[in-house]
Amino acid sequence: MSKFGVLVMGPAGSGKTTFCTALIQHLRNNRRSCFYVNLDPAAEEFAYEPDLDIKDLISLEDVMEDIGLGPNGGLVYCFEFLLENLDFLTEALDPLTEEFLIIFDMPGQIELYTHIPILPAIVKHLTRTGALNVSLCAAYLLESTFIIDRAKYFAGTLSAMSAMIMLEIPHVNVLTKMDLVRGTVGKGELGRFVDPDTTLLDDDPAGGPAGAGRDTVEGEKKEEEDEDPAARDNVMRGSSFKRLNRAVAQLIDDYSMVSFLQLEAQNEESVGSILSYVDDAIQFHEAQEPKEPNDEVEVNWEEL
């Protein structure tokens, strides 16, 4: 029997738990069943109590106190422990039917999605190649305010692409908190961020060398020679940093894998739109049993 789920992930502060809350509310409003799984061992506050919480198995606070690890190392340890105790997931998820959408709320440490092989192993256990036969889709959330800083935006886009390559499952990328940038970025300009446009770096409105326009390689080298490499502004906005950003943007363009949906978590229609993409990716509706139509009501016309 197939199961269906969405893996909600992204950097810290991107609105993962807020999206999960909005998604659960939307599903309930539409009389759909869901099962909420918290896989963030540091999370404490929830609008909806998780049906399964990793803190019942291991918590980041206990790991930091008992083993003396920092937040990032402690979180990696928690996921290594989860990988050694996958029965914790199997026992809770195995009884679920195909009517449920399983929502996995992930932590915000992006190293889990980009280069550490732990999460791919967990995903393999969850999906059709593993024990649970979950048709799984990843939703990678990126805060829309990243578009104000274009270097930051391309770095976030690169992390989304890295997660797509690492996890090898259907994937939707989402720009969250769109209400914060509606009045800042025009509709036409916004389209260049929805489908990443490498020329965004050429007309970066930021001042200084990083936003100076289309500089030649020779000009960048001359600029670098005239700069003090130890100066703070030159470290983050100098010609070397600009060339790095161009290389990142070109890599994203070469792969041509990433595009973004837009989300306002307080907007029911916006949440429903994201859910429709997730449902299509996991083929949720195709697996549902057809419902019997209501029996026709027999009317005695002689009595009317």
Domain ranges of the chain: 3-196+258-288, 199-256
Q: Which fold has domain 3-196+258-288?
A: Rossmann fold (3.40.50)
In order, the DSSP letters of 62-128 are HHHHHH---HHHHHHHHHHHHHHTTHHHHHHHTT--TTEEEEEE--S-THHHHT-THHHHHHHHHBT
Judge whether 206 and 236 are in contact, CB under 8 Å: no
Judge whether 113 and 162 are in contact, CB under 8 Å: yes
Best CA proximity match to 170, nearest among 201, 128, 221: 128
In order, the DSSP letters of 195-228 are TT-GGGGTT--S-SGGGS-S--HHHHHHHHHHS-
* Tens digit of each residue's pLDDT, the chain (304 residues): 689 999 999 999 999 999 999 999 999 999 999 999 999 999 988 999 999 999 999 999 999 999 999 999 999 999 999 999 999 999 999 999 999 999 999 999 988 988 899 999 999 999 977 789 999 999 999 999 999 999 999 999 999 999 999 999 999 999 999 999 988 888 888 999 999 999 998 877 664 444 444 444 455 555 555 556 556 566 666 678 888 999 999 999 999 999 999 999 999 999 999 999 999 999 998 877 666 555 444 555 555 4
Angle formed by the axes of helices 150-167 and 118-126, nearest 10°? 50
Cβ contacts of residue 47 below 8 Å, gap of 6+?
A: 17, 21, 24
pLDDT digits (tens, 9 = 90+) for 88-145: 999 999 999 999 999 999 999 988 988 899 999 999 999 977 789 999 999 999 999 9
pLDDT digits (tens, 9 = 90+) for 158-180: 999 999 999 999 999 999 999 99
